[in-house]
Structure 1
Amino acid sequence: MTPPPPVAAQTPVHHSRVVVWLGWLVAHLIPVIWIDRFGTATGDVHYYFVGVNNYVPGAMTEYPVFGTLPARLVNLLPGGEDAYIRWFVVLCVLTSAVFTAWLIHVDRAPGHRAAWFWSLFIALSGPIVLTRLDLFPALTVAAFAALLFARSRTGRRLATVALALATMMKLWPGVLGAALVGGWRRRSTWARVLWFFAALVVLCAAVLVVSGTDGLTSPLDYQSDRGLQIESVFATPVMAAAAFAAAGDDRWHIGYAASKSFEITGPGAGIMTTVATVATVAMVLIAVGWAVTRLVRDDWSPMQALAFSTALVALIIATNKVFSPQYITWLAPLVAVALLVSRRRIVVILALEVLVTAVLTAAVYPVYYDWLMSAPPSKEGVLFLALRNTGILVILCTTAWWALTAGRESRPR
């Protein structure tokens, strides 16, 4: 006779989910209370409100059309500017809840480490995740990564569509197209690539119909005109030079640029801007080199694609002449997916590194940001900036090693 299901064994699983959701609630209350009480990090949300209502000509033209959809959705809700900010935060919280629910549903283990990681990330990042549009393309990239592991052909094709949509929301995910490339003799390789580009064509056509050619070109023009932002990895030596310069040395200047970010000029800034540009080109060449290597070696696997995508995101951040605080959000959803599908210790180490870097990012912005913008910048602020940027370099090394060794975890597909 078949024994009845072990009810007692199911109870701890149910209780663990309740505990996870309680942790999620506390984690999200931290930034929500921070935002509500002090109005911290809401400047961009004010800007979204101005942009979607066309109060200032040219506002938000630096954002791809699909990337502005969450901001436009919030604008349909009742109330003025203050209500808009609250609705935007609510939308981000609800979106995070959906992602967390999916993590809990997929992860059958009682520990639910992926959901715990995501909740801790929200709590440690401060208000930045819930007050920026970057959450939405980052979670779309996570959907791409998760769908790579789908058992059905339809699911894997949807992965390429998700990546195309993320590209049309924020541009940078387009580089991750290199992770789709496998052996040149495999039909699956060309199916993934063709579905990705076909989805891009359809989405570009939709933008042309709605916004014309400016909707496609203005975000690209905006990126090319940016200078050396004070938070970027390559700005760190220049910021340190300005912070520890002799009293009265005013050769460095920090100001609000047309790029809507604070940039530094002065000795070394021009050189570092050039180095960052060269590093970005090198990043693209690395992506191309990876794709060509996969074509020849025919060793593509979903795990390898996920590992390389995570490493490439870290490389995009590290080589960029801009490192806005919300960029750390680009990494966290991918790491959450990695915690679901991989049991390697290096992924746990990577998750811990992301959490530490999130704390340091919150110290940089918003805690010390006013002091970083001062002339000269605060030594304490620059110290936290250097630690945070060291954190992203450590993450880059960890993800690179994972990408180079991920082929051991699964066979080519």
Structure 2
Amino acid sequence: MLDIAYPSALGLVALGVLGFYSRKRYIARCRIRVVLADAKASAMVRHTESEGVVTLHDVLHAECPSLTNPELAYMVPTPFLATGLLQTIYAAVQVRQRNTESDIAYEREMLVMADAGTVSIDWLVDASLDNRDAPIVLMMAGVGGSSREYRVRALAKALACSPAKLRVAVVNHRGAARTPITSPRPYDSGFTEDFRTTVKHIRAANPHSKLVGIGYSMGANILTKYIGEEGTKCMLACAVAVCCPFDVGVSSTAVNESNLLNNHVFQPMVMRILMRAIKRASHLPLDPTWNLDVERIKKATRLNELEKEIMVKICGNKDVDEYYDMASSTHHVDNIDIPFLAINSLDDRITPSIGIPTDKFKTNPNIALALVPHGGHLGFLTGVPPRIWFIQPIIEFVSAVVK
């Protein structure tokens, strides 16, 4: 009897030790890697009598523990969402969920553009935010997204409840979240004019408030491109881009591949939203110079079909490759002149890591890149029940810059 029990106990101990070290190695592989310029070259974020010169490097290493503290800078996925594919699918399926972390209300403002197009601005309603000069966060969702998304609502509430007490306004793209469609010109991956006009409008109405930009996916690309285009004239105090498809061509190739995620989740979801918007805009007269093939548009089943037939022609590009190049924010990263944080996942199938201009983050002293091993596309879900990891580092970064 003792002869039988002894190896069994030894085996259990061995399995326990093996499990401990396996888990330790797994967690080590979940470490966040931050890419930015050398400490000596890092750009100044603020200068006070008590602190002296505080650089972007200082902010990240002293005030953003979720990104740089050796004990805390990990994004360990929820156990049943251990891959980027599972993270992405879960985030997409749960995009409209509501809980105490996301239960908020908005007040809507409409803003008409120069071409008669309309965007809506959904302001977070919070009676506790009585400081009209408090910093204002402007958020933008990705293609087909809006202020209704769980990740947008959860971050909005967390920002408002943070010690910085930030005001939040979500900028909805044309036609999104039941925004009236009043112009035949749709939004697209590289169209920055609507956001530029919105920033000017909010700045004029709130001259003493610092403005912050946060973008998700395509909204992150628009935000990044806008900041680079503005350069030293940018009105934002800082910005955060989550899952930015810096190279739109790389991202388009990825999302148009035939696979489980694209065929059954991403493409059907996005196409359903876009085709509904196209139907809502059918009463508006088209610019004859666009020469759009309406029947081909109606029969489109993939996102790149709409890009070829609509965006290439409307933007005046010779082909889809030229459109992708024009729309890509990667060409504008070098020109960013404000504190800027990008958060990207290395297992993102929608915005693959091959499209991230990592080297540019080593040379521009104003920008930083947080690379997360296992976050999928707009997932970054950790713990049980799943919670969004990137909310905390965004609060840390924004609060440190605008204080």
Establish whether TM, by shorter chain, passes 0.5.
no
More strand by share: 2
Please state which structure has a larger fraction of its residues in helix. Answer: 1
Q: TM-score, normalised by structure 1?
A: 0.30
